[in-house]
């Protein structure tokens, strides 16, 4: 090493070049060679990637030119979507971007449509996934439905507070510099004046800080409210709440998506807006402020500081992006496991009695522990990933940026001359030191604010990854809800076996799924099925074709072995299962009332249990009073419950308060209250004594309601006129009940 230095000194003396220039040049040369050695493989890899992208672009362009229409025009969006559909058919991950309400605005709607088309075409040419951007566009459309909405007002106020805080930070930094300057000068008067100003500015500064957090919370709440309203409208439209869990298998835990996922997405979305908007504004204002301060000092290389900060910032962003783990995927998987753990707890609460009877607590405990271990493993995986990423992030942001900040502060001071217009001729050195101290303090505070802004901006990349995970879950929920609303059901794992299971020749398939081609016609006074197959949500064909008619003067009894399709037929009649073929003619839903074996007990009063799903206001409009409800309960032998529970307005958990037989009689009381044309009774009195059961059935018949009953009790045959027998192998027969059969 000594030899090298001595040779450099000889070279310096021989050519008359200052020695420090020679040493600097040597260092730069060594550093350049090292960079070439390290960077050449990366540059080569990047050039190869660009070459591959260019070849792919040529192939895409050639394929598009080959698909030109007769008039020479090319449908770019159709080509892009066709390729996306082909990728989905080949088993790739489904993209959830087809959702959202229609736009009525004649200006924004075309702009949004053009933007989405451009993104699809960009994805088609480059292969870069743009699902997150499209999902965010459509989710923002739900969260901010109009320019003049309350959400827009909150967003504008929040933006205004962020801008105010930026300029206030610069002003406070200047004040602190002046305070330090007068401390160095020992100027008590000006020090007191500046300190008073600083304290007065602290009041609006603290208010704006609090206001930013308040408006961010308000914005998150407003976003959540819009999303929840839109989700609830979809969830309770066309009985989606039933279909999404029983007919479609894409959403594992809709309750978790409706609550936690929407809440977390709204909070992250509002916070990310603050984390991106304010740092960008801070960095812009700080760069101009530093250049202005450098000019004021008369220093050279005034633009070097902001330029150096920009280079370091972009380099840090590139390194962190290259090293960034897939936080979006990790967080989405964590949310999925949280939802599954919650669903296990809900199952235990819902089925606690059955679990206690069977003594199945050990099995349930093992399931809970296994689910929690899987969640803990995922959380631990995220923490381990964050450990090394945050270490790298802190090294770059804390130490590299601190060194850059020192250089930025030093350049104007070391290369410039501070103007001494206000210098004290008796003590110029003191004034010069105070000015430099003011500059150093102000620049230090501004650079700290800039470093904080840049750190938040780079950290927002990680938050954007997490937001992508939550946005995908919310977008998936909305996409599934809207598709289920339109009668499009998908059950993962069932599509491949659908064709082999379906033995109905008239069924039509698309993408491996049977198409819902059946028709529902609303009529009055009768129920008719024409060539309707009974197919389960798993595409098991229970009955290939069923044709029957039930008039209002008929009472149909349905029997057959277990699993032959009795309850499935009720679900088709009630309209909760799709009709894949044929036609069903049925009255409106108000004229068909279904009573299951375990009636649902809602939250509310005892009165609400009888009139469910009507409200008290609807009951009053029907002209009914509590005395009428008392007569209904008397017919089903439940009038003692009113006295026992403390009156009609008593509130309780009726699922636990009423016994099994009382709940079944409450279900029949609802039939007497609603007076439908047809009552679908599915083993609904199995826990009721035979004598009380007979009185209830007779009361329903006397009311003029046609009975369609599934039962294994021979005592109920006498209340029916026709018999439908399922044979268990897909066959069936329907006959009129004969007197000999009724007497059984």
Q: In the predicted model, is pLDDT for residue 346 greater than 90?
A: no
Residue scoring higher pLDDT (298 or 117): 117
Q: What is the CATH number of domain 156-485?
A: 1.20.1560
Q: In the predicted model, is pLDDT for residue 306 greater than 80?
A: no
Residue scoring higher pLDDT (100 or 570): 570
Least confident of 249-258, 339-348, 456-465: 456-465
Residue scoring higher pLDDT (98 or 216): 216
Query: Which range in 50-54, 110-114, 562-566, 647-651 is most confidently predicted, on average pLDDT?
Result: 647-651
> What is the rounded CA–CA span in Å between residue 339 and residue 331?
12
Give yes or no for a contact between 120 and 80, defined as CB atoms under 8 angstroms apart: yes
Q: In the predicted model, is pLDDT for residue 90 greater than 60?
A: no
Query: Which range in 219-233, 286-300, 388-402, 727-741 is most confidently predicted, on average pLDDT?
Result: 219-233
Q: Tens digits of per-residue pLDDT, 127-176?
A: 667 788 888 888 988 998 888 888 899 999 999 998 888 888 888 877 87
When pLDDT is cut at 50, 70 and 90, the band that residue 535 belongs to is confident
Q: What is the mean pLDDT of residues 539-550?
A: 87
Residue 464's pLDDT is what? 83
Longest distance between any two alpha carbons in the chain, whole Å: 130
Q: In the predicted model, is pLDDT for residue 193 greater than 70?
A: yes
Q: What is the mean pLDDT of residues 411-439?
A: 55
**How many CA atoms lie less than 13 Å away from 711 in the CB half-sphere?**
25
When pLDDT is cut at 50, 70 and 90, the band that residue 204 belongs to is confident
Q: What is the mean pLDDT of residues 253-281?
A: 88
Give yes or no for a contact between 215 and 161, defined as CB atoms under 8 angstroms apart: yes
Bridge partners (DSSP) listed for residue 520: 584
Query: Which range in 21-25, 64-68, 579-583 is most confidently predicted, on average pLDDT?
Result: 579-583
Angle between helices 690-702 and 626-635 (to 10 degrees): 130
Domain 156-485 identical in fold to domain 515-742: no
Distances (CA, A) of 3 to 7, 9, 63, 296: 6, 10, 65, 46
Q: Give first-to-last CA distance, the chain, whole Å.
A: 113
Give yes or no for a contact between 225 and 145, defined as CB atoms under 8 angstroms apart: no
Give yes or no for a contact between 465 and 476, defined as CB atoms under 8 angstroms apart: no
When pLDDT is cut at 50, 70 and 90, the band that residue 638 belongs to is very high
When pLDDT is cut at 50, 70 and 90, the band that residue 365 belongs to is confident
Distance of CA 488 to the CA centre of its chain: 20
3-state secondary structure of 78: helix
Q: Tens digits of per-residue pLDDT, 477-517?
A: 999 999 888 888 887 655 545 544 555 666 777 766 777 88
Residue 232's pLDDT is what? 93
The closest alpha carbon to 462, from 334, 310, 271, belongs to 271
Residue 427's pLDDT is what? 46
Q: Could you confirm whether domain 515-742 is CATH 3.40.50.300?
A: yes
Residue 744's pLDDT is what? 47
Residue 218's pLDDT is what? 93
DSSP type of residue 492: T
Q: What is the mean pLDDT of residues 438-463?
A: 73
Q: What is the mean pLDDT of residues 402-412?
A: 64
Q: Are strands 583-586 and 526-535 parallel, antiparallel or unpaired?
A: antiparallel
Q: What is the mean pLDDT of residues 206-219?
A: 90
Distances (CA, A) of 287 to 167, 290, 294, 301: 13, 5, 11, 14
Q: In the predicted model, is pLDDT for residue 265 greater than 90?
A: yes
When pLDDT is cut at 50, 70 and 90, the band that residue 92 belongs to is very low
3-state secondary structure of 154: helix
Residue 88's pLDDT is what? 46
Task: Tell me the two tokens of residue 425.
Answer: 């001729």
3-state secondary structure of 71: coil
Residue 575: in which H helix or E strand, if any?
none
> What is the rounded CA–CA span in Å between residue 15 and residue 11?
6
Q: In the predicted model, is pLDDT for residue 52 greater than 70?
A: no
Q: Are strands 526-535 and 541-551 parallel, antiparallel or unpaired?
A: antiparallel
> What is the rounded CA–CA span in Å between residue 270 and residue 445?
27
Least confident of 237-246, 440-449, 693-702: 440-449
Mean of pLDDT over the chain: 78
Q: What is the mean pLDDT of residues 448-459?
A: 73
Backbone angles phi, psi at 562, to 5 degrees: -65, 140
> What is the rounded CA–CA span in Å between residue 255 and residue 492?
20
Residue 731's pLDDT is what? 86
Residue 2's pLDDT is what? 59
At which residue do the structure tokens 């969260």 appear? 143
Burial class (CB in 10 A: 0-12, 13-18, 19+), 613: exposed
For the chain, give the percent of residues with pLDDT over 70. Answer: 74
Task: Tell me the two tokens of residue 75.
Answer: 């449908």
- Residue 613: asked if its preceding bond is cis (omega within 30°), the reply is yes
Task: Tell me the two tokens of residue 744.
Answer: 């059984």
* 441 Cβ contact partners less than 8 Å away, ≥ 6 residues apart: 176, 177, 180, 181
Domain boundaries, the chain: 2-65, 156-485, 515-742
Q: What is the mean pLDDT of residues 404-433?
A: 54
Q: What is the mean pLDDT of residues 282-287?
A: 77
Give yes or no for a contact between 320 and 392, defined as CB atoms under 8 angstroms apart: yes
Bridge partners (DSSP) listed for residue 549: 528
DSSP type of residue 730: S
Region for 171 from its dihedrals, namely left if φ exceeds 0, alpha if ψ lies in -120 to 50, beta otherwise: alpha
Residue 42's pLDDT is what? 61
Burial class (CB in 10 A: 0-12, 13-18, 19+), 59: exposed
Angle between helices 262-297 and 131-143 (to 10 degrees): 100
Q: What is the mean pLDDT of residues 172-194?
A: 79
Q: Which long-range contacts (CB under 8 A, 24 or more apart) does 430-439 make?
A: 430/184, 430/185, 431/185, 433/184, 434/181, 434/182, 434/184, 434/185, 435/181, 437/180, 437/181, 437/184, 438/177, 438/178, 438/180, 438/181, 439/177, 439/293, 439/297, 439/412, 439/413
DSSP type of residue 685: T
For the chain, give the percent of residues with pLDDT over 90. Answer: 19
The closest alpha carbon to 649, from 601, 602, 606, 603, belongs to 606
Q: In the predicted model, is pLDDT for residue 76 greater than 50?
A: no
Least confident of 98-112, 355-369, 604-618: 98-112
Region for 487 from its dihedrals, namely left if φ exceeds 0, alpha if ψ lies in -120 to 50, beta otherwise: left
Residue 296's pLDDT is what? 61
The strands making up 556-559's β-sheet, listed across from edge to edge, are 592-595, 678-682, 706-710, 556-559, 722-726, 732-736
Residue 610's pLDDT is what? 92
Give yes or no for a contact between 224 and 260, defined as CB atoms under 8 angstroms apart: no
Q: What is the mean pLDDT of residues 664-673?
A: 93
**What predicted TM-score, i.e. pTM, was given to this entire model?**
0.70
């Amino acid at each position: 090493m000594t030899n090298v230095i001595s040779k450099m000194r000889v070279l310096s003396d021989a050519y008359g070049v200052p020695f420090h220039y020679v040493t600097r040049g040597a260092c730069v040369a060594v550093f350049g060679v090292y960079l070439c050695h390290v960077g050449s493989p990366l540059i080569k890899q990047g050039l190869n990637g660009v070459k591959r992208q260019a070849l792919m672009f040529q192939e895409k362009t050639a394929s598009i030119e080959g698909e030109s229409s007769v008039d020479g025009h090319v449908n770019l969006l159709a080509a892009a979507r066709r390729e996306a559909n082909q990728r989905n058919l080949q088993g790739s991950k489904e993209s959830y971007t087809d959702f959202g309400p229609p736009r009525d605005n004649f200006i924004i709607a075309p702009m949004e449509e053009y933007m989405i088309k451009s993104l699809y075409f960009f994805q088609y040419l480059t292969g870069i996934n743009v699902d997150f951007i499209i999902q965010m566009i459509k989710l923002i459309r739900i969260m901010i439905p109009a320019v003049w909405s309350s959400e827009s007002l909150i967003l504008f106020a929040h933006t205004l507070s962020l801008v105010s805080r930026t300029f206030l930070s610069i002003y406070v930094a200047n004040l602190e510099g002046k305070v330090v300057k007068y401390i160095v000068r020992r100027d008590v008067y000006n020090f007191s004046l500046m300190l008073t100003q600083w304290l007065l500015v602290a009041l609006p500064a603290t208010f704006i800080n609090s206001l930013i957090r308040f408006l961010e919370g308000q914005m998150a709440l407003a976003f959540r409210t819009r999303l929840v309203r839109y989700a609830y409208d979809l969830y309770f439209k066309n009985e989606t709440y039933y279909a999404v869990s029983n007919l479609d298998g894409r959403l594992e835990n809709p309750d978790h998506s409706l609550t936690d996922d929407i809440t977390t997405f709204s909070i992250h979305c509002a916070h990310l807006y603050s984390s991106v908007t304010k740092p960008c504004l801070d960095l812009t204002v700080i760069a101009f402020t530093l250049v202005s301060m450098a000019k004021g000092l008369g220093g050279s290389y005034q633009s070097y500081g902001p330029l150096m900060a920009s280079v370091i910032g972009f380099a840090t962003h590139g390194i962190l992006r290259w090293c960034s783990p897939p936080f979006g995927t990790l967080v989405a998987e964590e949310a999925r496991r949280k939802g599954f753990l919650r669903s296990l707890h809900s199952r235990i609460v819902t089925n606690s009695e059955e679990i206690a009877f069977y003594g199945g607590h050990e099995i349930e405990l093992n399931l809970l522990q296994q689910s929690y271990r899987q969640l803990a493993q995922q959380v631990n995986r995220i923490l381990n990933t964050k450990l090394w990423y945050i270490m790298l992030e802190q090294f770059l942001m804390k130490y590299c940026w601190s060194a850059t900040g020192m250089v930025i502060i030093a350049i104007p001071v070391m290369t410039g001359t501070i103007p001494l217009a206000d210098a004290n001729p008796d003590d110029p050195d003191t004034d010069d030191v105070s000015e430099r101290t003011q500059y150093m303090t102000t620049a230090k505070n501004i650079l700290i604010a800039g470093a904080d802004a840049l750190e938040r901006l780079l950290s927002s990349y990680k938050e954007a990854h997490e937001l992508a995970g939550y946005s995908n879950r919310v977008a998936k929920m909305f996409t599934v809800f809207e598709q289920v609303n339109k009668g499009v059901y998908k059950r993962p794992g069932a599509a491949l076996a659908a064709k082999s299971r379906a033995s109905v020749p008239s069924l039509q398939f698309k993408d491996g799924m049977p198409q819902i081609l059946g028709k529902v016609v609303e009529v009055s006074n009768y129920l008719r099925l024409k060539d309707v197959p009974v197919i389960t949500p798993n595409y098991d064909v229970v009955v290939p074709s069923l044709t029957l008619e039930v008039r209002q003067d008929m009472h149909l009894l349905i029997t057959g072995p277990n699993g032959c399709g009795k309850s499935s037929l009720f679900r088709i009649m009630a309209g909760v299962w799709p009709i894949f073929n044929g036609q069903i003619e049925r009255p409106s839903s108000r004229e068909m009332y279904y009573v299951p074996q375990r009636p649902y007990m809602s939250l509310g009063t005892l009165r609400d249990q009888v009139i469910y799903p009507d409200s008290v206001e609807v009951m009053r409009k029907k002209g009914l009073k509590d005395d009428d409800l008392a007569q209904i309960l008397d017919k089903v032998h439940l009038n003692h419950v009113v006295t026992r529970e403390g009156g009609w307005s008593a509130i309780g958990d009726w699922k636990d308060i009423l016994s099994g037989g009382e709940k079944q009689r409450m279900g029949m009381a609802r039939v007497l209250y609603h007076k439908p044309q047809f009552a679908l009774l599915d083993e609904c009195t199995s826990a009721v004594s035979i004598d009380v059961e007979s009185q209830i059935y007779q009361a329903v018949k006397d009311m003029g309601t046609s009975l369609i009953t599934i039962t294994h009790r021979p005592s109920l045959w006498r209340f029916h006129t026709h018999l439908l027998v399922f044979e268990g192998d897909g066959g069936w027969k329907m006959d009129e009940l004969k007197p000999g059969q009724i007497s059984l």
